[in-house]
Chain A
Amino acid sequence: MDETTALEVHDLNAWYGHTQALRNMSLSMMERRITAVIGPSGCGKSTFIRCLNRINDLMPGFRVAGRVLFKGQDLYAPGVDPIEIRLRIGMVFQKPNPFPKPIYDNVAYGPRLCGIKERARLDALVEESLKKAALWDEVKDKLHHSALALSGGQQQRLCIARALAVEPEVLLLDEPCSALDPIATGRIEELLLDLKKNYTMVIVTHNMQQAARVSDTTAFFMLGQLVEFGPTSQIFTNPRDKVTEDYITGRFG
Chain B
Amino acid sequence: MEIKELLSTAFVAIRTNKTRSVLTTLGIIIGVGSVILLVAIGSGLQSFVTKEFEALGSNVLFISPGRVSFSGGPPQNVEAKFDFEDVRKIGELGAPIVKSSGMISKGVTIKYRSESFYGNLAGVEEDYQEFGNVEIDKGRFFTKNAVERGQFVGVIGHKVYTELFGEGREAVGKEVDISGRQIKVIGVLKEKGGGIGGSSNENTFAIIPVTTASKLTGINKPAAVMVRTATAEDTTIATRKVKEYFYRKDLTDDDFTILEPKELLSTINSFLGVVTGALSGIAAISLVVGGIGIANIMLVSVTERTREIGLRKALGATRRDILLQFLIEAVVLSVVGGGIGVAGGWGLSVLMSRFIETAVTPWSVGLAFGISAGVGVVSGLAPAIRAARLDPIAALRYE
Q: Do A and B interact with each other, yes or no?
A: no
Give the interface of B toward A (CB within 8 A): none
Give the interface of A toward B (CB within 8 A): none
